[in-house]
Every structure is written in structure tokens, then in C-alpha cells.
Amino acid sequence: MKTRLLLGLTFLLGYGVSQAQNLPANPDPGKCYVKCITKDEFKDVEETIEVYPAYTKLQVVPATYKTIEERVLVTEASKKFVYVPAVYETVSVPYIKKEGRTDLSINPATFGSSSRTFEVYPKTSGWEYKETACDSPNKEDCVVACFVEYPAQSRDVSYTTLANDATTGSIPVKQVPASYKKRVVKTPARMDQIDIPATYSTIKRQVLVNPATTTSVKVPSKMSTVTRTVLAKKGGITTWEEVDCGLLSANVLPIFYETGSARITPASKKIIDNNLLTLLNSKPVSIELMSHTDSRGNDDFNMSLSQQRANSVVNYLVSKGISRSRLSGKGYGESRLVNRCSNGVECSASQHQKNRRTEFRVINN
């Protein structure tokens, strides 16, 4: 497997020399390189800043008072009004309950008949030509002109005439009188006025003797030293880093977990420190982490568990100062077994253990 990888890598590097640009200058035969983009470099600087400004603190000297007595008006003089209601009497008031009116009667129109003679065609006259028998070959010699007169034509037309047009007659209807009871004021209401005298009382009140004043005290400012991170060197430069060719393919790490757990044991943390952390601190490369499980248990649970285990390694490296952008973690569950121990196949504990593995490989960033 590793031989095939080296042959393929040699072919790709040879092809890349003619097709790509910015490859490593004067590479050594049999060596592998990955393209890295340098990261921004930062440094911590200390700076003393004013965290609380100097100010003036004021203290109040309270005002002083003295007590005096004073006679004051508590109720003003006023007038009291007593209402005396009106006295009423009842009278009868006539009114028209229903007004009189004049009803109308209808006398319809009457008609007669007559007739009239109309001329429907006028009297006419004119010349008429008739042919007669004669010996002349010209027919016009045989024509006779006669002056003819026709009388006018007339027709009698009957029609209806108005004898008397429609009229109305009047019928008087008398009004209906009535009366109602009404209460009227016999003696109007009035207000009787009563005078109410003012009342007084003696009160005690405090008057100002000395107004309040202030005294000032100067409070110095407070300083503090803060540490802030500043950009020391701008990254973004593409470089080629020589790496062990074996790191370009999947390398198994003996990282162990408790059953059904993604928590990294102290022993596994030491393996990560000695392998992955050392590599990432020595070279600006990126790595891919791949976690796997054996076939025992639910397939969906194993896929989720493997992803959690890959995330645990990524989070541990981030806690050690490695940028998360340089790390890629993916769980494959039981989809990439290295032996025949799939679902339903009886295998030993050591055979299943070979499938419970975490691998890593170097990738371009």
C-alpha cells in the first residue's frame, strides 16, 4: 500500500512540475511535500492604562434650621346656600289630537266621437302616348299624344274627442280636539344664603438658618496593567513543507476510549501530545482525524459515537493552542472495517479492537 502511494506521489510530483507553478525548488528524490499557508503570528504586549479616572469627591454639610410658631388660616370664610324647591300646580292644556282635513273625490273624463275626410292622393294630369295603326315604317309616325286628368283620392277617418276632462271634488272632515294635564310652577325654587366664618390654627415650621454647603476631597486615578495580543507577523504566504511520506496516508493512533464514550483517557492524551501535538507545533501543516468503531451495536449510534470521538481529539488539540482551522475531524462509524468482523460475524475481542481506531493524515491547508 505504501509502495503504491509513493509511486503515485512520484507520478503526481513529476506531472506537477510541468503543469503547476510555485512547487518546491530542487526537491529531493523520494521526499514528500505539502503546501502550507503561513498563519498570522501574534505576540502579547503589556500596557498600563487608566482604569478609573481621578475625580473630586464632594461631601455635603447639611443645612441648619430653627422652629417658629405661626397662626395660619385653615378654613376661609364662605357662604352656605340652602336650596328651597319649587311648588307646582296642575292645569289642563287643550290641543288638537287630530287636525281637520279635506278629502278628494275623482270625476273621470268623458269622451265623444267624430270623423274627418283626408285627401290621400292629389289630383293629377299629364300627357300619355298611344300607338295607332298606320302605313309608315317609322313607329313614331304612329304615336298619338293625349292629355289625361285624374281626380284626387280621399278617405274618411274616425277619431275620439274629449267631452269633459277629469276633475276633483272636495269632502271636508272636522278636526278632533283633546286636552292633557300639565304641572306648572306656582312658586319658583330659590337659594337661601348663610354666612360661614373663617377658622384659624397655630402651626410650627422650620426656617433655614444656614444653607447646605459642600467640602471637596481629591481622589487619585487608578491604573492597571493589561496584556493584549497584537499582530507580530502577517501570514498568508504559501510555502512547501517536507513531511514524512507515510504521514500522507492514514496512520493509526492507539487512542482508546471507554465503552460507549467519547472521553479521552489520560493515556490517550499522552499519545496525542507525543504524536499529533509535536507534529503540529513543528510544522505549519493541517491534519485530518478519522475515527472508527467496530460493528457491534447500532449502526447509527456507532456513526454518531465515532464523530464525537473525532471531535474530542480536535477539541483537545484546540485546548493545547492549535488553531481549529488546521484540524478536520470526521467519524465513519463501522463503515470502514479493516477485517471481516461485520454485523453478525463472530470475532474475537482483539479482532474487534483493530476496528476501534483513530487515524490521522497530513493534508494541504
pLDDT of res. 22: 64
Q: Where are the domains of the chain?
A: 1-52+221-243, 102-171, 244-365
Greatest Cα-to-Cα distance within the chain, rounded to the nearest angstrom: 171
pLDDT of res. 20: 46
Residue matched to cell numbers 489520560: 266
pLDDT of res. 261: 81
Q: Is the separation of the CB atoms in 247 and 34 below 8 Å?
A: no
Q: Is the separation of the CB atoms in 3 and 197 below 8 Å?
A: no
Could you read off the pLDDT tens digit of each residue along the chain, which spans 365 residues? Answer: 333 433 344 434 444 443 444 666 667 676 565 656 556 666 778 888 888 888 888 888 898 988 998 888 889 888 888 898 989 999 999 988 888 888 888 888 888 888 888 788 888 888 777 777 677 677 676 777 777 788 888 888 888 888 888 888 888 988 999 889 999 998 999 888 898 998 999 999 888 888 988 888 888 988 888 887 777 766 555 566 655 555 555 667 777 777 678 888 888 899 899 988 988 888 888 888 988 888 888 999 999 999 998 999 999 999 999 889 889 899 999 998 999 999 989 999 888 888 888 888 887 65
Residue matched to cell numbers 307646582: 88
- Cα separation, 336 vs 348, in Å, equals 18
Residue matched to cell numbers 507580530: 232
- Cα separation, 91 vs 346, in Å, equals 123
pLDDT of res. 2: 38
Closest by CA to 292, choosing from 254, 333, 329, 253, is 333
CATH architecture of the domain formed by 244-365: 2-Layer Sandwich (3.30)
Strands (E), 41-187: 41-52, 55-61, 64-75, 78-84, 87-98, 101-107, 110-121, 124-131, 143-150, 153-164, 167-173, 176-187
Between CA 82 and CA 86, with CA 83 as vertex, the angle to 5 degrees is: 150
What is the full DSSP assignment across 25-36?
SSPPTT-EEEEE
For the chain, give percent helix, strand, coil, nearest 5: 20, 50, 30
Residue matched to cell numbers 385653615: 74
Coil/strand/helix, residue 247 = helix
Between CA 176 and CA 178, with CA 177 as vertex, the angle to 5 degrees is: 125
